[in-house]
Structure 1
């Protein structure tokens, strides 16, 4: 359960300033800093620094407030690093952004893209190439592949032909620089390499999407998150081992249907040499696509996932999975629970309770773990509720305390961060409609005051315009 305490203005974002602000909020709400058992921030240096970061400063006062880097943010960093670490992927995203900027530069082109999609969908339905059902065959637009929208670009595969049609219209009817931009964009997306990387990224995104969506849920427990990370790694490794031939056939079929040139994979591959000259390499073109792009992209992705979700940094999380009901098929490890308490939560249990806990765990294994209903539980949260519902919490209150401590560790994005995302939308709309010189402290205060009165955004903007015309301060 999350509770929002409020917004605090800070003069800067140094770790010490943020720590003082947190201390102020906690003291105002009569909360003790030493009672903190979990910290969750992003990966910025002022937050995660081992010596002077915010998590380090709080850990100095409360050594059992364990820092868990937001799992969703870790995944985004891993995906971003993979896109920037492989040359072919980096070039792909650069070209993709350029294509989207050309196609989505005006509402007229957006309408043309929608019309082209509608015509293509209608044609495919008429020849029985598409199924018709509620929710299928939606008409959409292209989105920029941002840091938090990594998986948005595979929609280009569905809109590939309509996008090419719009670019050809711009080439035919356009004038000036836009005509040249459209021609460059069309040449970029109709190359075999661009289409190959587009399909490769789509398959990688299909594997990581479940993990990505799960980590962005408002409620997510550590045990389930760790299982999803492990299964994602296994699926990526499986894709590397068995998917090459299928992917290459899929890309060739896609190009053949759209009359896009398919290179001879047995021909030699030319690498870029000195003085901008191409040099003949010892490898074939098939080797280039398979090793330099396919294997390299998946290896880089696996390496980043192993780095961001390393076993060394997740010992606490690994020990926490012992009480997870989904581990019912594995032998119950009483020693891991004892180690978890003695190493990570010694202040929450006195010596007498630690002795009693060892005995209680033996009864817990027989009375709870071997119970038929226990196998139906799917999370730590359900386990705690079941212990209360069956009144077993009376006998196993120490184990319930351990489970409660595990549940306090933050994994998913905080609800308040979602609120900030919504606030940014309002701020962007406001900045787009008024001039920058009006964005001062008095304007912000006036906007907040009017917003508190539930006056519409359009009314507020109209007030700004009137004030500017009268040349009076707000």
Structure 2
């Protein structure tokens, strides 16, 4: 297809839009799959020019309309396949995905979830997730960004958070919770990130990740008994011995396979998904979830008294929760809808309102007890609230039945309770995704490129709702282009 002045401005623009749209579709596919774009050799004589060029080539071969505007049929100075163009389109995808999240958040309160990990190029990366309750009463946790931090001091992390908040138009004043894994630079009582944020906003209450706390408690309980210590030492020795030699690992695997076959033949065990299947051995760690839990459950039978175990667990749990956090959690538990709201206690819930004085005016704190009494009589007599088993379901049911408007103060309490994070699993999953996007073979990927790729890859459900036109218009406005792209009305 030859381009000339006689082709007309409209025809050129139509071809340009088709070309950009086709390239964007290819980029969408690669981003959603977490695949690399570039190839080792992208020259025209290469047998494999990389995922982006090869997929675009395949797409044009299957679709004549695409073939007419890309490759050899595109102007030599406007093929739109340069690495810079790819990065700009990816950035436009990430920005519009983030904007969709921010639009959903609106001016609501939110909670901050953070964690740090090193990537494969030995860079310290901080993953940032926000938690909020949307207009339907649903608890939403959204990945916002991964930020490279030069040091992991609380001051450096706080500076990175301030910069990120400024970029996205978020305010520390809207924070109503913080959730970290308990590292001293995060949760330190005096100089930790938690404390630095609470100096600006005392209502950004911190909750230590429950999963990590439980794991650390189990570790302490396990170490308190010699039987458990000996067992863990034996397991560790088996792992070290088998993992250091392929032959030993194969021998151990074969012995276990033969034993399981005999048991299956005798009908002593059953097979199926998750039943008596091969698994890998891993070294236990103090903060690796579940590494001690199953062991403790079995070794517990060796202990002279189960009461001893329970006492140690209770002592450890008490020592890991501050008095403020304990009181807060006790008060929140009174909102529990299970067993016809059996834990309801109006006096404790009134105290809950005093935890958030900025969110309940003096008059509202005076009226909240009366509203609570009316609320509990109403929901206990409403069959639509029967069988609700958790606070999240209660919030959604309040929205569905419009009782959030009838009991606005109670719903505000429910919303604040839901904002408190109980685990940092969402942040942990960010690092799992990071290991897919940034591998040993892609260890030179830049921080911005990785972040943009992760935003789209992790938030596929949001990205899939973003219209191509929004992305194209953002891309077009990034800089002056050879071709103009008029808006579709």
The corresponding residue for 2:283 is: 144
The structure 2 residue matched to 1:420, chosen from 424, 428, 431, is: 431
Determine if the alignment matches structure 1 residue 314 to structure 2 residue 326.
Answer: yes
Q: CA deviation at 1:57?
A: 1.1
Within 5 A, what are the aligned runs for 1:348-387?
348-387=359-398
Q: Residue 170 of structure 1 corresponds to which residue in structure 2?
A: none
1:405 shift after superposition = 0.8
Matched with 2:416 is: 405
Q: Give matches, 1:44-443, under 5 Å.
A: 44-132=183-271, 135-149=274-288, 151-152=290-291, 201-203=296-298, 247=301, 290=304, 299-309=311-321, 313-326=325-338, 328=340, 330=342, 332-342=344-354, 344-424=355-435, 430=440
Could you tell me how far 1:449 is from its partner in structure 2? 6.3
Deviations 1:285-326 (A, max 9, x none): xxxx748xx886665444323433576641101101111102
Unpaired runs of 5+ residues, structure 2, are 1-139, 455-489
Question: Aligned partners of 1:453 and 1:313: how far apart in 2?
Answer: 37
Gaps in structure 1 of 5+ consecutive residues? 156-197, 205-238, 240-246, 249-288, 434-441, 455-474
C-alpha displacement of 1:66: 0.4
Which piece of structure 1 moves more, 143-152 or 28-37?
143-152
Question: Which structure's residues are more often strand, by fraction?
Answer: 2
Larger relative contact order (C-alpha < 8 A, sep ≥ 6)? Answer: 2
> What displacement does 1:202 show?
3.9
Figure out how many residues of one structure are paired with residues of the other and give that number.
315
CA distance in 2, matches of 1:24, 1:54: 15
Contact 2:180 2:424 in 1 (8 A): no
Against the structure 1 CA distance between its residues 449 and 356, is the aligned structure 2 distance closer, same or farther, given a 3 Å change threshold? Answer: closer
Q: TM-score, normalised by structure 1?
A: 0.59
Could you tell me how far apart the structure 1 residues matched to 2:451 and 2:414 are?
42
TM-score by length of 2: 0.57
1:1-39 Cα offsets, whole Å, 9 max, x none, are 122221222232221221121111112211111111001
Q: Over aligned residue pairs, what C-alpha RMSD do you find?
A: 3.3
| Inter-partner Cα distance in structure 1 for 2:453 and 2:175 | 37
Q: Is the 8 A contact 1:103 1:110 kept in 2?
A: yes
Offset at residue 123 of structure 1 (A): 1.6
Distance change in 2, residues 1:6/1:134 (3 Å)? closer
